[in-house]
Structure 1
Amino acid sequence: MSETTTIRVLINQAPHDLSVGATLADAVQHAGIQPPFAAAVNLQFVPRTHYAKHSLNDNDHIELISPITGG
């Protein structure tokens, strides 16, 4: 029986494979998004100070949202 070494997550509705044990910080780096932005995992906001501690699971839905300026 082989052990799975990757998980599949959705980042802004696009599938991405990350290593087992990946954190939200890893997903942000993988996505290449630049600040400012907010992040949510499975519709729950995650503060920036928790990105490195927030472990991801297979099939998590990650939203990285940049602010829209204008009037």
Structure 2
Amino acid sequence: MITVKVNDEPVAVRGNCSIADALILWGYRSVSIAVAINNEFVPRSTYGQHILLANDCVDIVTPVQGG
């Protein structure tokens, strides 16, 4: 197991866990999210290949409607 920070909260995930796997584990099934790892947005097309590393800072952003 490794620890990453998800929206500033420490979370344990298994080693060799992709962003796609982690999002499913954490209950994010919506396509309307964006993910940044260590302050850099990750293209959705690479979520399955991008492996989380210990101490990564994961920011999950959802769109907000406004005017």
TM-score by length of 1: 0.85
What RMSD in Å do the two structures reach over aligned CA positions?
1.0
Separation of aligned partners in 1, 2:33 and 2:19 = 13
Distance in 2, Cα, partners of 1:40 & 1:47: 9
Contact 1:42–1:60, Cα closer than 8 Å, also in 2: yes
The match for 1:17 is 12
Runs of 4+ residues deviating >3 angstroms: none
Task: Report Cα offsets for 1:36-57 as digits up to 9, x if no partner.
Answer: 0110100111011100000111
Match among 51, 57, 60 for residue 53 of structure 2: 57
Q: State the TM-score, normalizing by the size of structure 2.
A: 0.90
> How many residue pairs get matched?
66
Identity over the aligned pairs, expressed in percent? 35
